Structure 1
């Protein structure tokens, strides 16, 4: 049957997306995003130590139309990775493997990410006196 073009293993086009697989993939992507964000944080600290002019330029970038979505994305990645990491720790302890529980905890991670991100940005703006 060498002439029949079938995939050798289950393929992404065959499987329907499930919350558990999507959250797993997002966990990996947010980990990469946090690593890139850590490099940006080191850059920010270096610029902050180098002088007021350089710091002001970087802060104006942070407030720009490009900088704010990047910072928002980093915030989302942070809270998602944190909450999903806690979920993985529960799995490592043997809790929450039942499919209904896995779905509930997955939705809790997504909702918690949204709530914590919004809360962090609202508190941040309130602290800066923007409200």
Structure 2
């Protein structure tokens, strides 16, 4: 009974030692197995699906930072009228409103990116063309949603510069 070598076994690899590999596309692991290097960003052609994925991760981080602002708002509310007035003075300034708009944009982009992932989880829209269309749609819908929300806030008089 003969056994074939395991995939990735050093005896089965096309480049058994690093001296033979002049391309730099393989690496020898500590266990002696030769493995190909993963493609780097310089090799991959950028497309909207990659951008949407990175944007979704970035907006998740931004929302984590934004949750600190929500906690500060609640603390100011709990500490009394003076603390609340100070907080609303800062966050009601043009710079504060820009921060709130950025958080709203992050929220809408993350929400639409999550819907895009729910669609993909249902095994729908996984072809490259459809995935690109869903990515563009999630980005555009997220930006339009955030702008529309803030346009409503300004036109209703709830937010004033």
Q: Specify if TM > 0.5.
A: yes
- Normalising to structure 2: TM-score of the pair? 0.73
Alignment match of 2:112 (pick from 83, 87, 97): 83
Distance 1:99 1:41 in 2: 38
Structure 1: 5+ residue runs without aligned partners? none
Q: Deviations over 1:41-66 (max 9, x none)?
A: 01111111211111111111112343
- Who is 1:43 aligned against? 72
Return the offset for 1:19: 0.7
- Who is 2:147 aligned against? 118
- Normalising to structure 1: TM-score of the pair? 0.89
Distance 1:100 1:13 in 2: 22
Q: Deviations over 1:49-87 (max 9, x none)?
A: 211111111111112343222211111110000011011
Distance 1:116 1:90 in 2: 19
Residue 155 of structure 2: SS of its match in structure 1?
Answer: helix
Judging changes above 3 Å, is the alpha-carbon distance between structure 1 residues 5 and 66 closer, same or farther for their aligned structure 2 residues?
farther
Distance 1:116 1:122 in 2: 10
User: Which has a greater percent of helix?
Assistant: 1
- Who is 1:15 aligned against? 44
Q: Which has the higher contact order (CA 8 A, sep 6+)?
A: 1
Return the offset for 1:5: 6.7
Distance 1:76 1:130 in 2: 19
Alignment match of 2:131 (pick from 80, 102, 121): 102
- Who is 1:29 aligned against? 58
